[in-house]
Amino acid sequence: MSTTKRGTCRIDDDDHMYCCCAAQVLKQRLNDPRLDKSRGREYMVRVMYCEMLGHDASFAYIHCLQFASDAAILTKKVGRGVWWAMLASA
């Protein structure tokens, strides 16, 4: 297993391949109008993981704001947490 350097951290090729494929899938799933909140929160955490590894996840910015403005506290916390993590890595 080889590692590559992205930004200031080293990641495995497995993580890199996961993020490349997952970003496209997450983009489609977050745009689904029938998305329930529990799945959406899981997808937001996955987006944050990809963003932290240095991949572009700018497609999820609007979804973070939508989740952060939700009435449910847990959804709001996830949206805000992912938003702040994405701002810190930008």
Please give the structure tokens belonging to residue 63. 């979804």
How many structural domains are present in the chain? 1
What string of DSSP letters covers the chain? --EEEETTEEEEHHHHHHHHHHHHHHHHHHT-TT--HHHHHHHHHHHHHHHHTT---GGGHHHHHHHHT-SSHHHHHHHHHHHHHHHHH-
Predicted local distance difference test score (pLDDT) of residue 76: 95
Say if residue 2's pLDDT is above 50. no
Q: 75 and 48 in contact (C-beta within 8 Å)?
A: no
Average pLDDT over residues 32-42: 92
For the chain, what percent of residues have pLDDT higher than 90? Answer: 51
Residue numbers of the domain that contains 52 = 3-89
Give 54's pLDDT tier (boundaries 50, 70, 90): confident
Say if residue 64's pLDDT is above 60. yes
Average pLDDT over residues 55-84: 92
Say if residue 8's pLDDT is above 80. no
- Tens digit of each residue's pLDDT (9 = 90 or more) over 26-36: 999 999 999 99
Q: 12 and 1 in contact (C-beta within 8 Å)?
A: yes
CA distance 50 to 85: 11
